[in-house]
Each structure stands twice: as C-alpha cells, then as structure tokens.
C-alpha cells in the first residue's frame, strides 16, 4: 500500500475548467457508520463522530483507514474547515466530485445541498453560512443501501465479491474541495464544440447570474501565444455563444498520433472592461464521423483497438491511490498495443480523461447502470472453488426510471469537452423486459439515447453494449462474444458480410434488427490465466483456462486476427486491462504487474486492420 501524503489526491480535480483559488478538503475527517440509517434521529448531525476516515477513499477501502466491506446503509462525515479570509466578498462553493449514492450536506447545522447518484459531481453554496476568516462545520450523510435498485456498476449485491461483481463503494470517493467565485455573476463549465470542417471552436458559456452589461471573452492559445480571440455580450437568461477560428498557419488536429491541445482563457467582464471572473480550459480540434461501416477520426478510418477498463484498484477500490496510478493504466494499455478503452460500468474521474486527452487515448464513456433490478430476477452468477459456491441473489425493483436519464446526462455534460471521448454508451447488457411489447423500460432506454444525441450531436451513441438493442436510431450495433476458439469465432462473425451479424443468442428475439450501422465486438476474449492461483482460490475467466502460456498467445492472436481482418469491423474491445479480484482475465495482474510478454501482445494487434486499408 503506497504511503499517502497528509492531503491525498491533492491535484486540481477539474482540469478542464480551472480557477486559481481553491482549497482541497481531502484528508482526515470524523466518520461514523450508520448501519440502521437512524443517525439523524440519534443526533449524528450535532455531535462528534466516533471514528475517522481518510477522504477521498471510500470506507470499504484500505486507504480510507476503515476497510469495512460489510453492507454500509448510511455513513456520516464531519469536519471543521477554516474559510480563507482572502475570500471575503465572494461566494463560497463546496464541491463533491463524487459521493455514492444519496448525499445530504449541512453547514453549521443548516442543510445546504443534496444529490442523488454515485458517479457525478455536485456543488453546494455556503455563502449565507460560511464566513471568510472563520470556521464552518461541515456534516455529510451518504445513504447507499446495496439491496435497493440503483445504478451501482460492478458493486456486489451480495456480501462477498461474486463473479464479475466487486467490493462496494459507499459515500465520498472523489475529491471534496472549496472554491470562491464572484458574487455578482460567475462562469460555469463551458461547452466547447470542435468544428474541423470550418476550422473553429464554438463555445457555449453558461453564466450564473447572467445580466445585461456583462461581456464574455475567449482566447485561444497555442504554446502560450494567443492565436484567436472573440467576445460577445451577455444578457439575462441565456448563454453567450461565440466562435473561435483556428488560423490555417500552424493548424493541428487532435489525433492518437498527435494529441494536440489548444489552451483556452475564458473571462467574464463588466461594463468597464474589468474581469469579473476568469477560468482556464483546453480543447482538441477533432471530428468523429461515420462512413459506411467505418468510424473515422478527422475523416480517416481508425480501427479502435480497445480494452475493457473497469477502473478498480486493490487498495482504493474505485479511487486511484495517486495521480500516477491514473496515468499508469493508460500507459500500460498503450504499451500492450491498445489505442483506447471502454470505460466500463463507471464514470471515470475527470483527471483520468485529462490524461487520455493529452496522451491520445481513445475512450468510450459509459454509465454505471448495473444494479437497476427490473421485474425479472437478476441473473445468478455462480463460481465453484474448493466446494464454495458464491451467488448474486435475486432482487426486484423498478428497472430503469426517468431519474437514471438525469444521472447519465450529468455525466455527458461533465465530459463533453474531452477530445479523447469518441463515443457514448449509456447502458451495458440491458435486457428488454418483454419481447413482444414496448414497455416503460424501453421508453427510458430510448430517452437516454435521445437525450445524449440532443446534448451531443458530434459523437456516435450506442444504445446498449451487447445483448439487447431496442433503440432503432442507434448509431452503432455490437455484440459480446466470448467464444474462445478463433475458428468458430470467425464463423460466428462471417454473417456480417451478408447482412446477418452475430447477435447474442439468448436475446435474439428481443433485439431490433441490424440496419447497416458500423459494427464491432465490444467484449471478447476474457481469457482466464493466473499461474499463481491455487486450486482453492476463487478465480475465473471466460472459457476453459489455457493449459500453457503458449496456448494463451495463440488464442489471443487468433481472436484479434479475426476482427482485425474483417472488412466490416470498425474495432473491438478485449476483456480486460487488469484482473479485478476473482475475475482473473486481465492483460495485467490486479496490482498492475506484467502477466505476459507485452511485445507479443502488442504485435498481435499491430497489423493494419482491413477497414483501414
């Protein structure tokens, strides 16, 4: 376990919208588990808490100092914070990058905010409570009953880890921080739209407290030098919008080979031209388009050699122990020959996406939709090891609800500006409820797709990864195929050439027909290999375990070759980057140590794909 600094994860948590003044609140907080969710009645709001925890690590993790992996129905946090005197005259905002799942926030005993959802940031305004130069007492309660139907990704629904379900995360698991902003009006996160065809960026800039007399200014920089600037007037009730042309001289598009990022200075000015508020950002000029069966980057087919990345860490669970750990996962993937990842069943923290942007790493954004139990029993996972059987239980609940559209769009809004994101996938392996009828569940599936397209018309959207396609407008079609035999694997996907693509068999009657969209196998492989596993260990992967390392290489090379050589396949996603607890099918071990000869793994993927020829 790495030695943590006094303030762990001290880096600025919002790299695409940076202000100079801020205060990181990571570190030691008072803490108490509220197993019966009765803490409000028992006075936890007004008294010191019994234990302590290291934020931003969840209480299930070792790095938190708690390490309790039982069901934690509710948890409480408490801390006194000194508000800097220099912030006098400004609004004080308290930011949570992520807290799972229902979070309530009090300052000096007064409720200042609440948020539902475990993967996206939210803010609370402390201005009327916190006084610069004095201390404020913050109290947070997070409710997270794992037995309820809620989007929780790969978090286990039963006491132990099971199958492809892992240790739960409760409460705060990303950075908590304070930020001062101007009282009169201030900038919110902009929407930066790259337009390669017209060689410009279009910026939509929401302003909190927008009013007549204010002006918005944006400057585009390259290596610190201003190359373009524009201004527009601001008025009450609407977003300022402007275009920043990119000069032809020195034009550089963002791509995996050249992940060039332009710098952006954003400013809100008053009637006299004085800067009221300012922030820094960046942007990459690139396009994503569909041409027949190809998905193109900047008009060029780029075969997407993706790896499934679940973003779990042995000591931090969903939270990377350090900034370096985020970078390492990307560089390890690149070293193994992948050019991107499906960020699977987790909304990754913003700093991961920042590093993907600067390293030219292609990613698909995804929601943590697993855990939404519908009227049908949840499929059981079973793994036998030494006579022990581990199962996920049966649950029932409402399935998808309109509230899940809200949580997903929060993620899309947060991450829209990242050039590394080349596609969206709100749902994974979601089943249709009734094959011969359209249900409310289907309505929400389509609402998630349509809401994504409404906010972001610049990227392709896949309605559901694998299993059940129910949205006729979906830009992409896919399947999950864990056949371990390259010969039969090739036979299953040969039908794509004559309009009969492979569809996950168990739900064939539920999916709508393929209508010629670009197609890829968004999960395959998952080859089970852990030479250190004992016979009594819980260990699994897909298919029969290879009898030798040589058999692994032959299987991996054969499966990749089938998809690389397929004229109508625009990419693939191999399962997975690392082992995760008992699921031991990663290219790397869970601790990120090498499992294979990476030169050979890389070489298997480097041939030019058929769709790129």
Tally of domains within the chain = 3
User: What pLDDT, on a 0 to 100 scale, did the predictor assign at position 226?
Assistant: 96
Q: For residue 240, what are the domain limits?
A: 197-283
Strands of the 200-204 sheet, one edge to the other: 191-195, 200-204, 241-245
User: What pLDDT, on a 0 to 100 scale, did the predictor assign at position 47?
Assistant: 97
Residue 342: give its domain's CATH number: 3.20.20.80
Q: Got the DSSP string for 515-558?
A: -S--EEEEEEE-B---TT--TTS--B-BSSPPSSHHHHHHHHHH
| Tokens linked to 347 | 């909304």
SS3 state at 307 = strand
User: What pLDDT, on a 0 to 100 scale, did the predictor assign at position 183?
Assistant: 95
Considering the domain architecture, whether residues 437 and 559 belong to the same structural domain is answered as yes
Residue 38: give its domain's CATH number: 2.60.120.260
- The domain boundary residue, chosen from 283, 316, 348: 283
User: What pLDDT, on a 0 to 100 scale, did the predictor assign at position 2?
Assistant: 54
Distance of alpha carbon 351 from the chain centroid: 11
Considering the domain architecture, whether residues 68 and 214 belong to the same structural domain is answered as no
Considering the domain architecture, whether residues 366 and 511 belong to the same structural domain is answered as yes
Strand partners, 111: 106
How far is 178 from 190, CA to CA, in rounded Å? 20
CB 157 within 8 A of CB 377: no
**Neighbouring C-beta atoms of residue 56, cutoff 10 Å:** 30
**Neighbouring C-beta atoms of residue 120, cutoff 10 Å:** 24
Do the domain assignments include residue 294?
no
Q: Got the DSSP string for 340-381?
A: EEEETTS---HHHHHHHHHHT-EEEEE---TT---SSPPPPP
pLDDT (tens digit per residue) in 142-180: 999 877 888 888 998 888 888 899 999 999 999 999 999
pTM of the model: 0.95
How far is 594 from 97, CA to CA, in rounded Å? 31
Contacts by 290-296 with C-beta closer than 8 Å and gap 24+? Answer: 290/460, 290/475, 290/517, 290/518, 292/518, 293/518, 293/519, 293/567, 293/568, 293/569, 293/570, 293/611, 294/518, 294/570, 294/611, 295/422, 295/423, 295/460, 295/476, 295/518, 295/570, 295/571
Do the domain assignments include residue 10?
no
Residue 262: give its domain's CATH number: 2.60.40.10
pLDDT (tens digit per residue) in 209-220: 988 899 999 999
Considering the domain architecture, whether residues 269 and 203 belong to the same structural domain is answered as yes
How far is 42 from 500, CA to CA, in rounded Å? 62
| Residue recorded with tokens 């499934």 | 308
SS3 state at 236 = coil
CB 540 within 8 A of CB 584: yes
- Name the H helices within 396-542: 402-415, 440-455, 486-493
> Three-state SS across 45-85?
CCCCCCEEEEECCCCCCCCCCCCCCCCCCEEEEEEEEECCH
Do the domain assignments include residue 81?
yes
User: What pLDDT, on a 0 to 100 scale, did the predictor assign at position 371?
Assistant: 79
Distance of alpha carbon 438 from the chain centroid: 29
User: What pLDDT, on a 0 to 100 scale, did the predictor assign at position 149?
Assistant: 80
Q: Which residues of the chain have pLDDT under 50?
A: 374-396
Considering the domain architecture, whether residues 176 and 201 belong to the same structural domain is answered as no
Do the domain assignments include residue 153?
yes
Do the domain assignments include residue 295?
no
**Neighbouring C-beta atoms of residue 594, cutoff 10 Å:** 13
Considering the domain architecture, whether residues 372 and 515 belong to the same structural domain is answered as yes
- The domain boundary residue, chosen from 283, 310, 328: 283
Considering the domain architecture, whether residues 396 and 497 belong to the same structural domain is answered as yes
Considering the domain architecture, whether residues 265 and 316 belong to the same structural domain is answered as no
- The domain boundary residue, chosen from 182, 216, 234: 182
Do the domain assignments include residue 292?
no
Cis peptide before 356 (omega within 30 of 0): no
């Amino acid at each position: 376990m790495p030695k943590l600094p006094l303030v762990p994860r001290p880096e600025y948590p919002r790299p695409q919208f940076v202000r100079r003044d801020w205060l990181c609140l990571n570190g030691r907080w008072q803490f108490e588990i509220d197993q019966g969710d009765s803490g409000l009645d028992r006075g936890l709001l007004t008294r010191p808490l019994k234990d302590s925890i290291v934020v931003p690590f969840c209480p299930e993790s070792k790095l938190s100092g708690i390490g309790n992996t039982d069901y934690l129905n509710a948890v409480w946090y408490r801390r006194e914070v000194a508000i800097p005197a220099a912030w006098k005259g400004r609004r004080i905002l308290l930011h949570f990058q992520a807290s799972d799942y229902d979070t309530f926030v009090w300052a000096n005993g007064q409720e200042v905010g609440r948020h539902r959802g475990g993967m996206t940031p939210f803010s609370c305004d402390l201005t009327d409570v916190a006084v610069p130069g004095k201390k404020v007492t913050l109290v947070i309660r997070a409710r997270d009953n794992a037995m309820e139907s809620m989007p929780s990704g790969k978090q286990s629904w039963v006491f132990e880890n099971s199958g492809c379900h892992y240790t739960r995360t409760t409460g705060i698991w990303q950075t908590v921080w304070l930020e001062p902003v101007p009282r009169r009006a201030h900038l919110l996160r902009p929407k930066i739209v790259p337009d390669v065809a017209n060689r410009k960026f279009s910026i939509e800039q929401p302003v909190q407290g927008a009013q007549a007399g204010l002006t918005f200014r944006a400057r585009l920089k390259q290596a610190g030098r201003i190359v373009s600037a524009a201004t527009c007037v601001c008025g009450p009730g609407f977003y300022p919008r402007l275009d920043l042309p990119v000069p032809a001289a020195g034009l550089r598009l963002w791509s995996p080979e050249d992940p060039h990022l332009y710098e952006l200075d954003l400013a809100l000015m008053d009637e006299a031209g004085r800067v009221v508020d300012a922030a820094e950002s960046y942007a990459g000029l690139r396009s994503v388009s569909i041409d027949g069966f190809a998905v193109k980057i900047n008009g060029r087919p780029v075969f997407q050699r993706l790896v499934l990345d679940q973003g779990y860490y042995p000591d931090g669970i969903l939270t990377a122990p350090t900034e370096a750990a985020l970078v390492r996962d990307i560089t390890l993937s690149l070293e193994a020959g992948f050019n991107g990842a499906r960020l699977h069943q987790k909304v990754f923290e913003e700093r991961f996406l920042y590093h993907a942007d600067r390293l030219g790493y292609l990613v698909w954004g995804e929601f943590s939709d697993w855990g939404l139990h519908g009227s049908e029993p949840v499929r059981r996972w079973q793994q036998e090891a030494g006579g022990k059987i581990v199962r996920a239980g049966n649950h029932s609940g409402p399935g998808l609800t309109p509230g899940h559209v809200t949580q997903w769009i929060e993620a899309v809004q947060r991450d829209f500006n990242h050039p590394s994101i080349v596609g969206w996938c709100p749902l994974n392996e979601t089943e249709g409820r009734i094959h011969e009828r359209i249900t409310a569940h289907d309505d929400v599936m389509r609402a998630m797709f349509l809401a994504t397209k409404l906010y972001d018309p610049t990227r392709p959207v896949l309605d559901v990864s694998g299993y059940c396609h129910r949205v006729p407008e979906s830009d992409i079609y896919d399947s999950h195929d864990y056949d371990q035999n390259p010969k039969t694997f090739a036979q299953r996907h040969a039908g794509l050439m004559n309009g009969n693509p492979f569809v996950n068999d168990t739900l064939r009657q539920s999916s709508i027909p393929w209508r010629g969209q670009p197609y890829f196998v968004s999960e395959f492989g998952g080859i089970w290999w852990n030479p250190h596993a004992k016979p009594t260990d819980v260990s699994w992967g897909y298919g029969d375990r290879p009898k030798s390392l040589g058999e692994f290489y032959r299987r991996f090379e054969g499966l990749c070759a089938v998809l690389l050589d397929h004229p109508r396949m625009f990419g693939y996603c191999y399962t997975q980057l690392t082992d995760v607890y008992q699921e031991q099918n990663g290219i790397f071990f869970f601790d990120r140590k090498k499992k294979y000869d990476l030169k050979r793994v890389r070489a298997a993927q480097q041939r030019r794909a058929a769709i790129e020829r």
